[in-house]
Structure 1
Amino acid sequence: MNIYCSALLLLSGLMPMMAFTASASTTHEFSLDNGLKVVVREDHRAPVATSQLWIKVGSSQEPPGQSGLSHALEHMLYQGSSKTCAGEASAILERLGAEENAVTSNDYTAYYQTLAPDHLGVAFELMADLMTTAHLRTESFATEIEVIKQERREHTDDAPQGLAMERLQAIAFPSSAHATPTIGWMHDLQRMSATQLREWYQRWYAPNNATLVIVGDVSLGQIKPLVERYFGDIPRKTLPQVYAPLELAEPGERKIALSQAIHAPQLLMSFNLPSLTTAPDRRTVQALRLLDILLAGSNSARLKKHLQFNEDLFSQISSGYDPFNRGDSLLLLSAQLNSHQRISLDQAQARIWQVIEQLKTTPPDPEELERARTLLIASQVYQQDSISEQATRMGTLESIGLSWRLMEEDIETLNQVSAKDIQQAAVTYLTRQRMSVAHLMPENSHE
């Protein structure tokens, strides 16, 4: 067993967490005097709870030449603090049977633990300490930055699909910071310093720039004293001005071509779309979400049905649209040609356009629309079976500047979308002036 050097007040327990019978849907919200916002949702179906600390900083705030700071800081936060040695925070949580991880995106950095409710105080103390007293030593950074560089090589530089996605994103966002890869450009990682990380940490890690979300077998009366105990004395900070990463409405058609070690040509198409924070209204976003499902979000979707199953043009085709961004977003179509097909990617792209244009002129019939709506609503309902998914949705909404309460209205607003709404969304947003394309070709091949 490792010898720990911790100065933690709690190692294996805290004040007893008593069972109670409140409704699983009961949700509470409060803020500390230092600005930390706390959301507590009671879900008593199992004796477990998840705690998620969301810091409102990600790659979209990073200045040119310093990409990857937020993600590198996420790595470094566990390399020692005033109360723990390097790696000890994770070791303590593992001893308590917790599942823990962290994630960085364009808009936020989140740290989360799922564990028995009577150990939540340990998670709170660890997170409060790491967000305020992380050492961020130069010698630890020298080792960790090499880990991050290798992560980039594995998932991007040496991964054809990852590289294509990064390059596509770079041209899809010509005027906003969403073009910056979260992991950072390799040349920026090579010149990053521990001093930069310490400055970034001091600038953004503050209680008034964070949201703490707890979901599970808990009550407000049990959680609030713990939050006040471990987070209440952290001083608030004056934060930099933050601007939403807005994109040009019609940047113009853009295209790149890459040759990679793949066995069949691949096609990526994206369209610049508004998100939940930038759309003219929520009905537009819900129409775009359903449009995503209708295009390639299910086996009965138009692109899959016609081009993958009927015509055997593609071995796979999928679509995705993330409306939960602090700025504008994308609708992404990804397709791989069947190896026996002898057509170019330009011809394949033309077939996709034919299906898109048909959607503009022929809206979904009632059965098609209801099937898509049912699939999307079902996915939202299934997510509620997971306390982690519930917390993640609430934390995401709060971190992009919206209220967690929007998730409570999701099904109602989806049910209001008509076929005409979807058709209008296709006409407005699926245009060549909003499109970016990446052609991914096998090495030594000629299109």
Structure 2
Amino acid sequence: MKRLLMPLGLALALCAPLPATAQTAPPSTASPDPAATLARQYTLSNGMTLIVRPDRRAPTAVHMLWVRVGSMDEVDGTSGVAHALEHMMFKGSALLKPGEFSQRVSALGGQLNAFTSRDNTAYHEQVPADRLEEVMRLGADRFATNRWSDDEFAREMSVIKEERRQRTEESPRARMYEAFNAMVWQASPYRRPIIGWMSDLDAMTPQDARDFHRRWYVPANAAVVITGDVDVQRVREWAERYYGRIPAAAVPERKPRTEPPQQGPRRLEYRGVTEQPLVTLAWHAPRYSGRDDEASRDALALAVLSGLLDGYPGARLDRALVQGEGNAGKRVADSASAGYGLIGRGPQVFTLSAVPARGVTPEMAAAALKLEVERIAREGVSEAELQRVKTQWTASEVYKLDSIMGQAQELGTYWVNGLPVDAGERLIAQLRAVTAEQVRAVAGRYFIERTLNTGVLLPEARNGEGAR
């Protein structure tokens, strides 16, 4: 869930009342010492992780709470409970009434938001640096003593179900992708939608959410990430004072749910009221783990391949399918894209998608998508093209660090996936080492018919008229 427009999610019941103000050191005007801006990771006395990265360019700070729990940790029958709990974390605690957390952060001059993914749930606030301690106190309370009434839960579930109706039920593309995702994954929990199946939302109880909170919201399964104009030692003291006092608890055992190898192509045809068809192709692919092994090396090469196909304006898919270059100017698609996850707690897929141009069938568009990968597998790529993609990715990695929110999100993502705080620098270095031959090799090895998943959205008249 995104709570936009709120000026950017924790305080123990045993803590003293919130002070009116809290003081920190004024922002430094001197050139920063590079060593003083490095991210540092600590473990609090109860097992919770603390990550701090100073950035003194402006008197503001970001506070993020990351919990290593998402939709992949749910079980059948309670899909959507991780997202539902994210909503309920704004509905009260030992110190605060429903909605008061957001009101307090806004009163501090801050902004807040939250989101749930397959792999994690995260809560974030950006506030003036001299109000950081208050937000940490609030955050610790919410994490440890989240509480709300059954009536509050019922009201919020109505909001969530309407969110699902608007984002999924009313969108043929969203419904197709949801069904396609459930086909691609057989055993992996990634097969369930993050927002949950509507029948599970209808059946969800307040106790389902409370049990999920009790089970997964424990210190050893969470990290507090702080970036901005902060003093590291002072942040450590505050973290121990507020978060460190939360009782330690064991993280539940996670049973492996390994996706079995795909032994043949799969195809889904989904019919909906839409103006244009859509075709999506997906192949299972390795994820980047940070280890120096074949899977991670292939993952990096696949990331470069994705960039070659769709990493910048005028990349291969755009030139060949949308502009019709090399095809006598004949356009195959109104749009075409490539995507690859690279990092995640679970397995990943590489996807190719296209919206066929008028007069072009989904089969023709799918063939054109596959042809571009086959061309790379057969002919390879030029060094200039390879360097362009590397430069694009390196620049994007550097530019996003201009934002202290971007820094916090990156550090939290690395922690969720078991990567070190300097994973960004390592990734860039490893990306630069990817060779044209590695890209050609993965293009020929992973994109085979045996492991292909095809999803097609076909236009249908309203009320099923004209459907076949």
Q: Which runs of 5+ in 1 are unaligned?
A: 1-5
Indicate conservation of the 8 Å contact 1:59/1:177, yes or no: yes
Query: 1:406 aligns to what?
Result: 423
Deviations 1:390-423 (A, max 9, x none): 1111101111222222112121111100001111
Indicate conservation of the 8 Å contact 1:174/1:251, yes or no: no
* Alpha-carbon offset, residue 224 of structure 1: 1.0
Deviations 1:251-272 (A, max 9, x none): 5311111122221111111121
Query: 1:336 aligns to what?
Result: 355
Say whether 1:327 aligns with 2:346: yes
1:241 to 253, 262, 269: 253
1:354 to 361, 371, 380: 371
* Count of matched residue pairs: 440
1:17 to 10, 25, 33: 25
Q: What is the CA RMSD across the aligned residues, in angstroms?
A: 1.9
Q: Which runs of 5+ in 2 are unaligned?
A: 1-12, 325-329
Indicate conservation of the 8 Å contact 1:59/1:178, yes or no: yes
Query: 1:434 aligns to what?
Result: 451
* Alpha-carbon offset, residue 446 of structure 1: 7.2
* Alpha-carbon offset, residue 378 of structure 1: 1.3
Indicate conservation of the 8 Å contact 2:27/2:57, yes or no: no
Say whether 1:134 aligns with 2:153: no
Say whether 1:380 aligns with 2:415: no
* Alpha-carbon offset, residue 11 of structure 1: 5.1
CA distance, structure 2, for counterparts of residue 239 and residue 225 of structure 1: 24
Indicate conservation of the 8 Å contact 2:54/2:231, yes or no: yes
Indicate conservation of the 8 Å contact 1:60/1:245, yes or no: no
1:291 to 298, 305, 310: 305
Deviations 1:54-88 (A, max 9, x none): 01111101111111110000000111111000000
Query: 1:308 aligns to what?
Result: 322
1:28 to 21, 35, 40: 40
1:221 to 229, 233, 240: 233
- From the superposition, tell whether residues 90 and 8 of structure 1 become closer, same or farther in structure 2 (CA, over 3 Å): farther
Deviations 1:372-402 (A, max 9, x none): 1111111111111111111111101111222
Write out aligned runs for 1:262-301 (5 A): 262-277=274-289, 280-301=294-315
Indicate conservation of the 8 Å contact 2:93/2:145, yes or no: yes
CA distance, structure 2, for counterparts of residue 225 and residue 219 of structure 1: 10
Deviations 1:178-214 (A, max 9, x none): 1111111111001000011111110010111101111
- From the superposition, tell whether residues 446 and 46 of structure 1 become closer, same or farther in structure 2 (CA, over 3 Å): same
In structure 2, give the amino acid aligned to 1:334: S
- From the superposition, tell whether residues 309 and 80 of structure 1 become closer, same or farther in structure 2 (CA, over 3 Å): same
Deviations 1:348-377 (A, max 9, x none): 211222222111111111111111111111
* Alpha-carbon offset, residue 234 of structure 1: 0.3
* Alpha-carbon offset, residue 296 of structure 1: 2.1
* Alpha-carbon offset, residue 291 of structure 1: 0.7
- From the superposition, tell whether residues 200 and 323 of structure 1 become closer, same or farther in structure 2 (CA, over 3 Å): same
